[in-house]
Amino acid sequence: EDGYRLWLKYDPIDNADVQQAYRQHAANWFVAGNSATTQVIKDELDFALKGLLGEASATDAESAGLIVAAGDNATVYRQKLKIETADLGDEGYLIQQVRWQNKPRLVVLANTDVGALYGTFHLLRLMQTQQNLENVALRSAPKTQLRVLNHWDNLDRHVERGYAGQSIWDWHKLPDYRYQRYFDYARANASVGINGTVLNNVNADPLILTSQYLDKVKALADIFRPYGIKVYLSVKFSSPQLIGGLKSSDPLDKKVQAWWKNKADEIYQAIPDFGGFLVKANSEGQPGPGDFGRTHAQGANMLAQALAPHGGVVMWRAFVYANEKNEERSKQAYSEFKPLDGKFDDNVLVQVKNGPIDFQPREPVNALFGATPQTPLMMEFQITMEYLGFSTHFVYLGPMYEEVLKTDTFAKGKGSTVASVIDGELYDYPITGMAGVANIGTDRNWTGHIMLQSNWYVFGRMAWNPSISSATVADEWVRMTLSNDNEVVTKVKDMMMASHEATVNYMTPLGLHHIMGAGHHYGPAPWVDSLGRADWNSVYYHQANSKGIGFDRSPSGVNAVEQYFSPLKEEYANPATTPEKYLLWFHHLPWEYNVASSGRTLWSEIVHRYYQGANTVKEMANTWDSLEGKIDPWQFHQVQMAMTIQQKEAIWWRNACVLYFQQFAELPIPEGLEKPEQSLEYYQSLSFPHAPGQG
Ligand code: BDP
């Protein structure tokens, strides 16, 4: 098992009783209809059920144990069985055990074929995880509308912040050459409910909008359509100048507006269900409406108006940090976008990274969530491992996503969670969505590390249902990807659930952030102090000096806390009430500060956390070793090799950071903790000119 099959392995069910029970339900199946999507359902069922049950075959509705039907094809069942499906919408489904023509049947019903496809994958998941299907009766519909991957893939196949090989899009061979991988990508996405993909990097190449590339984009859109997946493109705001021969890209210029309108018409001519545009504007050197003295809203609306007649949307990113007021970086997205609330057209979403800085191992949530009642905010999570050790560190991101989604913003009082903002419940947003920066590449195992497949998986599951627990998802994923053996499930799940906190501890405990290597973000480098902008440097973020450590974002400092709703703003303003996980994010505190949870001094607590993080990784590796023989050998060894690297690098992180901060604290490493084997100078001398994934 090299990992290519992801969580869709469909190996024979190893429990004979369970397999026998499933055979009665599903060995003979019937899928109503003849659309491209029903063909996908038939192919998947044929492949999956033959695998899981040993044998299975398609038959007619009269003799089938399993019936899948949608839309008009489902009318007869809905009526005779008195089953209501209106509430399932366009993508939901139900799975139910019924009696039909005097025989027990399992039915998967939906209003659309794509809904039936999602239901089919859910049913297969129940079987792969060996759930009891007797009297099953469940209904599911997605809570967010746009569930999209963002590929930071360049047209030359380099993936920015990608650690799993090259881009899976072979632009050179498109449109004619259609790899099986494209189809398997679509299957995997559909299996977790992902219904959109932005094919190219947010640092966009304008060529993507030329007719030569649009032909290639169309080929992918045609492949993905039966799987319910829409294609979107990242666009460069200055495209009218760069490829259109215009003198300006000013959004209020009539010629510019006409250029985008024509471009949208051209795209929809080829791809009638094209999803829309993702835009990084006036951020990190990218062009934008600000270059012409216009606002983000004016820029976004111009594109939105070009797409609106065709039903497309604009996902406009809030990742900006170069405003004229020269505010502290964490405050800028809010300052820029809050005043624009209500100024965006109906088909615009503002896409916000979960935290106010940039995909750190841990950040408090961006204060924008909850602050824009009239502007749909869409979540942007990172699935790829930019600041998390790349693809040799195993960090299951489920608990991190869950922590963010469950955070109460208090925007409309208690219970105003981030999840309720982005799923539209809080403000009744007309469109909702969640984006994840993909971790996918050409590596055989897709994500560079088998365990990191779980992050693609959990992203999809949480986009569908932002309230699902990360532990539930971990359980499913382990059973589908590794084994249903109880020992494997329990132990790997524990590893997964501990992995994120462990990495936070060995990299950036207690709210520290942005102390990774310069540019590539690989490895510890809290000493970085020479980059072009102050807020690209590590020393700017940790502010360590002889007195203490941490970034004062309280009212005595840059007052970023003022952007949050009460009571968060008061809580975060005071170190005593700030959750310890964000302590040094919001406060600069003396080395002797007493950390309440442990009673240790701040210095001692920081050091202990670094050691604890590295120890947890060691325990994770031991746990993994104990599973040898219980997991497929090649899967086992791949993960074991990566765990060895992660163990070494966790110690590297720990030693480098502890020694570096010790210079300021001038305090000994607490009793009982082994001394770092190398000097600070040694760690500082390491360099990684060819570290992967850079822009
Ligand atoms: C940062 C990455 C950079 C991206 C940028 C973005 O370092 O490569 O282009 O975010 O999200 O995390 O636009």
Rg (CA), the chain: 26
Average pLDDT rounded to a whole number, residues 103-132: 98
pLDDT at 17 over 90: yes
Cα atoms in the Cβ-side hemisphere of radius 13 Å centred on 285 = 5
Average pLDDT rounded to a whole number, residues 516-543: 95
| Residue 110: how many other CB atoms lie within 10 Å | 28
Query: Is there a contact between 129 and 476 (Cβ–Cβ < 8 Å)?
Result: yes
Q: Is 408 helix (H, G, I), strand (E, B) or coil?
A: strand
Query: Is there a contact between 75 and 88 (Cβ–Cβ < 8 Å)?
Result: no
State the closest ligand 1 atom to the C-alpha of 202, by its place in the atom list counted from 1: 13
Q: What is the ipTM of this complex?
A: 0.99
| Residue 486 CA, ligand 1 centroid: distance in Å | 40
More confident residue, 323 or 524: 524
Mutating to test ligand 1, I would choose from 284, 385, 439 the residue with most ligand atoms within 8 A of its C-beta, which is 284
pLDDT at 323 over 80: no
| Residue 550 CA, ligand 1 centroid: distance in Å | 24
3-state SS track over 283-352: CCCCCCHHHHCCCHHHHHHHHHHHHHHHCCEEEEECCCCCCCCCCCHHHHHHHHHHHHCCCCCCCEEEEE
Query: Is there a contact between 335 and 325 (Cβ–Cβ < 8 Å)?
Result: yes
pLDDT at 324: 78
Average pLDDT rounded to a whole number, residues 414-436: 98
Instruction: Give the residue numbers marked as catalytic.
Output: 284, 358, 386
Average pLDDT rounded to a whole number, residues 453-466: 98
| Residue 413 CA, ligand 1 centroid: distance in Å | 33
State the closest ligand 1 atom to the C-alpha of 380, by its place in the atom list counted from 1: 11
- Domains of the chain, start order: 16-140 (3.30.379.10), 146-481 (3.20.20.80), 504-551+588-685 (3.90.1330.10)
Q: How confident is the model at residue 48 (pLDDT cuts 50, 70, 90)?
A: very high
pLDDT above 70 coverage of the chain, percent: 100
Average pLDDT rounded to a whole number, residues 6-11: 98
List the residue whose alpha carbon is closest to atom 3 of ligand 1: 695
**Torsions phi, psi of 310, nearest 5?**
-105, 0
Helices vs strands, H then E, count in the chain: 21, 18
Average pLDDT rounded to a whole number, residues 206-223: 98
Rounded (10°) CA dihedral 617, 491, 5, 26 = -160
Nearest to 42 by CA among 122, 97, 113: 113
pLDDT at 223: 98
Pocket of ligand 1 contains residue 174 by CB under 6 Å: no
List the residue whose alpha carbon is closest to atom 10 of ligand 1: 358
Pocket of ligand 1 contains residue 160 by CB under 6 Å: yes
Predicted structure pTM score: 0.98
List the residue whose alpha carbon is closest to atom 11 of ligand 1: 319
Dihedral sign, CA of 538, 386, 167, 192? negative
CA distances from 376 to 318, 346, 409, 426 (A): 12, 9, 15, 11
Pocket of ligand 1 contains residue 280 by CB under 6 Å: yes
Q: How confident is the model at residue 325 (pLDDT cuts 50, 70, 90)?
A: confident
| Residue 653 CA, ligand 1 centroid: distance in Å | 22
Long-range contacts of 281-288 (CB under 8 A, 24+ apart): 281/237, 281/316, 281/317, 281/320, 282/320, 282/322, 283/317, 283/319, 283/320, 283/321, 283/322, 284/203, 286/202, 286/203, 286/204, 286/236, 286/237, 287/236, 287/237, 287/238, 287/249, 288/237
pLDDT above 90 coverage of the chain, percent: 98
Q: How confident is the model at residue 322 (pLDDT cuts 50, 70, 90)?
A: confident
| Residue 201 CA, ligand 1 centroid: distance in Å | 10
Pocket of ligand 1 contains residue 694 by CB under 6 Å: no
pLDDT at 326: 86
Pocket of ligand 1 contains residue 359 by CB under 6 Å: yes
For strands 196-198 and 146-150, give the pairing: parallel
Cis peptide before 567 (omega within 30 of 0): yes
Average pLDDT rounded to a whole number, residues 150-172: 98
Pocket of ligand 1 contains residue 161 by CB under 6 Å: yes
| Residue 695 CA, ligand 1 centroid: distance in Å | 8
Pocket of ligand 1 contains residue 476 by CB under 6 Å: no
Q: How confident is the model at residue 480 (pLDDT cuts 50, 70, 90)?
A: very high
**pLDDT tens per residue, range 83-92:** 999 999 999 9
List the residue whose alpha carbon is closest to atom 9 of ligand 1: 203
Average pLDDT rounded to a whole number, residues 266-277: 98
Q: How confident is the model at residue 392 (pLDDT cuts 50, 70, 90)?
A: very high
Average pLDDT, the chain: 97
